[in-house]
Amino acid sequence: MIPWALEVEYDGTGFMGWQRQKHGLAVQQVMEEAGAKLCGGSIPAAVASGRTDAGVHALGQIVQMDLPDFSPHRLREALNYHMKPHPVVVLRAAPAPAGWSARFSATWRSYRYIISNRPAFPALELNRVWHVRQPLDEAAMHRAAQQLLGHHDFSSFRASACQAKSPLRTLDELSVTREGEHLIIHAKARSFLHHQVRNMVGSLKMVGEGVWPESRVAEVLAAQNRAVAGPTAPAGGLYFVSVGYEVPLFETYKAGEQK
């Protein structure tokens, strides 16, 4: 058994989120059970770079697991075989660097949030986007988003269940762009509070609808009070995109060899 770093994609719709729960299936459980089948016995708990909530998707979640000393190709194929038919797949695998932690070594995490902004319900995007019927002003939303950049107390955008010791976070990027009927919100920070991205999106939507002036977002931030912020955007529109580490994880392999 050696420690592995795994790049993982999943459809969060049917899961209770990343972390094991008493009631309902979690992505962690799917991965650990596949790993146990590989080893013919139980394995230590899998650790993820970010604990996504129920319904939140991942395009590049990074997971740390102790698994057999296979080739990266064989390890990926074997895990994917045992995770079927759950919508969880390993995209790339590599032996973890010494002393590396999927969670604590991360220097940044990035998320994408997708809003479908059109009158009709998006028939092909159920649980993949937040459907907002009213036309949104993406330029106003983007300007308002810039008020949140930097080192702040994000209590106004923090879930009451958040277990972080401090509400202080440094938000590095928060952009809003339109691609046709879709609004794409990109967020990047070393780490986020529980529900922080979804709560920031919910407030930006208030600006986009014209219900709030752009300046309101800075006031909400300054209030350090969750009650004054906008609604929590639905989980299905959120994608955990990627994680940065100082040590490269998969780059020792030729481009295209694994992907």
Q: Which residues are annotated as a binding site for substrate?
A: 111
Task: Output the CA angle 195-200-202, nearest 5 degrees.
Answer: 95
Instruction: Give φ, ψ of 207 to 5 degrees.
Output: -70, -45
11 catalytically annotated: no
Q: Name the minimum Å distance from CB 171 to a copy of itself.
A: 26
Contacts of 193 (CB under 8 A, 6+ apart): 154, 157, 158, 159, 162, 164, 167, 169
With CB under 8 A as the contact rule, which of the stretches 84-92, 161-169, 185-193, 212-220 interacts with a copy of itself?
84-92
Identify whether the C-beta of residue 123 lies closer than 8 Å to the C-beta of residue 191.
Answer: no
The 107-136 site mask, x for binding a copy of itself (CB under 8 A), equals -----------xxxxxxx-x-x------x-
Closer residue to a copy of itself, CB minimum distance, 99 or 180: 180
SS3 label, residue 76:
helix
The 187-226 site mask, x for binding a copy of itself (CB under 8 A), equals ----------------------------------------
Residue of 25, 59, 149, 184 that binds a copy of itself (CB under 8 A): 59
With CB under 8 A as the contact rule, which of the stretches 6-14, 47-55, 108-116, 184-192 interacts with a copy of itself?
6-14
Q: Name the minimum Å distance from CB 13 to a copy of itself.
A: 9
Identify the CA nearest to 75 among candidates 34, 121, 123.
Answer: 34
Instruction: Give φ, ψ of 5 to 5 degrees.
Output: -110, 130
Identify whether the C-beta of residue 199 lies closer than 8 Å to the C-beta of residue 230.
Answer: yes
Rounded CA-CA distance 80/34 in Å is 8
Of 53, 69, 137, 153, the catalytic one is 53
Residue of 38, 90, 115, 229 that binds a copy of itself (CB under 8 A): 90
Rounded CA-CA distance 259/256 in Å is 5
Chain-centroid distance, C-alpha 89 = 15
By the rule CB under 8 A, 54 interacts with a copy of itself? no
Chain-centroid distance, C-alpha 157 = 16
Closer residue to a copy of itself, CB minimum distance, 90 or 220: 90
What residues from 141 to 180 belong to the interface with a copy of itself (CB under 8 A)?
Answer: none
Q: Name the minimum Å distance from CB 31 to a copy of itself.
A: 12
Contact residues for a copy of itself, defined by CB under 8 A = 9-11, 57, 59, 76-77, 80, 84, 87-91, 118-124, 126, 128, 135, 181, 256, 258-259
Catalytic residues: 53
